[in-house]
Amino acid sequence: MKYLLDTSVWIWSASNPEKLSRRAAAALGEPDAVFGLCAISLWEVAKKVEKGKLQLDRPVLDWIHAALPDSVQVLPITPEIAVASTQLKNFHSDPADQLIVATAQSHGLTLLASDKLIRQGDWVKTIW
């Protein structure tokens, strides 16, 4: 495993691949690639649906199961990741983004992310 999917990249890869950048799509298309997904992304999708910010073609739990092929491994939020997420210098206040970046750091993964606030920092290597 060498990539971690940001929540938006995961959603787009499963539902709207045309929204992906060429570089992200190329990384997602690497043969035999295995991708990580921070556990908080599952919650983020459910919250987006709850708040009406994301429309899915099926119930949210069914969508989540369908959007988790064998090539995507959900990575837990360990105590170390939880603490590291609170110690990111000059990071914006989104706790889900903090956990995603800390997960990428902890596992030494490149983060596939469209979020400019994440990409502009030096916390983790990103591709978009």
Number of H helices, E strands in the chain: 7, 5
| pLDDT at residue 16 in the model | 94
Band the pLDDT of 46: cuts 50, 70, 90. Answer: very high
**91-120 as b/e, with b when 16 or more CB fall inside 10 Å?**
beeeebbbbbbbbbbbeebebbbbbeebee
pLDDT(1) > 80:
no
**Mean pLDDT, residues 81-102 taken together:** 95
- What digits encode the pLDDT tens for the residues 8-39? 999 999 999 999 999 999 999 999 889 999 99
Domain boundaries, the chain: 3-127
**Mean pLDDT, residues 62-83 taken together:** 97
pLDDT(106) > 90:
yes
Q: pTM of the entire structure?
A: 0.94
Contacts of 117 (CB under 8 A, 6+ apart): 92, 94, 97
| Percent share of the chain, pLDDT over 70 | 100
- Report, at the CATH architecture level, how domain 3-127 is classified: 3-Layer(aba) Sandwich (3.40)
